[in-house]
Amino acid sequence: MEQRWRGRMLLAVLLAAACGAPEGSPERRDGVLPVGGTGPAAGHAGSAGAGAQAGAAGTRAAMGPPQSGAPAGAAGAAGGTAGMTADPTGVAGSRGPAPIAGAPAPVAGSAAPRPIAMRSAGCGKPNGMTGTFQAQIRAFELDRGYYMSVPKEYDPERAHRLVFGYHGSNYTGVMMRRYLDNEKPPLLDGSIFVYPDGLPLPNQPDNIAWELKANGRDLAFFDALLSHLRDSYCIDETRVLVNGQSFGGLMTNFVGCMRADVIRAIAVVAGSGPRGAMCTGKVAAWLTHGMDDMNVSFTGGEASRDFWVAANGCSAMTTPGMPAQCQSYQGCDPEHPVIWCPHVADGGHQHPSFGREAVRVFLAGF
């Protein structure tokens, strides 16, 4: 068994060396995301002559129905499980949230008995809008847009999960709703979904994305939106979850780090970071990254994994997870598992064939 594991490790190293994307700033390199595609991203941030609106419009035109099954390639090589690389950001001085009884099983996604819900101020208010709709809120002295999906049978007396979905470069919230494809069982039941809209970056006007600054507009947008939804809907404050892909994966890692005191779990697809930030505690983390990702380097995804492994007190040991591409880290804080799902020849920078279902199962465990 040990010989077979070492053989896998050697294969992972060779594949990573052959397929890893060139180094560079992931904020600059993060590309336009074709929905359900299995090849490289359709464009790059800062492409010559690409206006922000034109990029978004072009992506809309290219959209098709989301695909949950891209052609399976090599069976997700197990990558980078030996040891942990040093993380320059560190987690010194971080503080964890109060323990919550009843952690979900991190592999199969089946939850242990749930903790008592912390009901938000919106519980009992009957006037929250239902269905799907676009809305705006004022944050950081800016009008910010977001797309909502609230069950038509919404019960204002039932505390719901709140699931954020963050888009990649030159996408929108409504487009990312289709790409992430989270609104299916088992996650659909008892959940409210929100998909924020990004803005052009100050130093990259052709790139609609997220500002990863502790005192910046997008963390303020998260705070304002969370506060508004807590007041408007019946939210279980112990089950605020975040999912994102590409630049949305960077934002997911960032808010998970900066707001671990209010976020229970994150699911990151082809993202990197957090970097240069003082985190507020631990979050349960599920991460996937393609060894052949040409937009955000595989080493950046490994660094994200290592960050959460260290933050959550895990050891370097793993056990096989589900699906087979995934590895569950051992020794983690019981409430904060880390699951790492490398893949190759299965989507590159995009969601892998197993990814959407695995995210739904993981998040539904909370």
CB atoms within 10 A of CB 256: 31
For 5-16, how does the pLDDT look when each residue is reduced to its tens digit (9 = 90+)? 344 443 343 333
Q: Indicate if the pLDDT at residue 53 is higher than 60.
A: no
What was the pLDDT predicted at 280? 85
Please, which pLDDT band fits residue 324 given cuts at 50, 70 and 90?
Answer: confident
Q: Indicate if the pLDDT at residue 232 is higher than 80.
A: yes
What's the one-letter identity of residue 30? Answer: D
Q: Indicate if the pLDDT at residue 26 is higher than 70.
A: no
- Distance, C-alpha 154 to centroid of its chain: 25
What was the pLDDT predicted at 115? 62
Q: Indicate if the pLDDT at residue 25 is higher than 80.
A: no
Q: Indicate if the pLDDT at residue 281 is higher than 50.
A: yes
Q: What is the mean pLDDT of the chain?
A: 76
Q: Are 130 and 151 within 8 A, CB to CB?
A: yes
CB atoms within 10 A of CB 160: 26
Nearest to 142 by CA among 214, 232, 216: 216
> d(Cα 235, Cα 156) in Å, to the nearest integer?
9
Q: Are 165 and 171 within 8 A, CB to CB?
A: no
Nearest to 307 by CA among 346, 347, 266, 348: 266
What was the pLDDT predicted at 207? 96
Q: Are 302 and 318 within 8 A, CB to CB?
A: no
Q: Indicate if the pLDDT at residue 332 is higher than 90.
A: yes
Please, which pLDDT band fits residue 114 given cuts at 50, 70 and 90?
Answer: low
Q: Indicate if the pLDDT at residue 101 is higher than 90.
A: no
What's the one-letter identity of residue 132? Answer: T
Least confident of 42-51, 162-171, 272-281: 42-51
Structure tokens at 209: 């994305």
Q: Indicate if the pLDDT at residue 81 is higher than 80.
A: no
Q: Indicate if the pLDDT at residue 325 is higher than 70.
A: yes
**Ordered structural domains, the chain, with CATH:** 2-33+46-364 (3.40.50.1820)
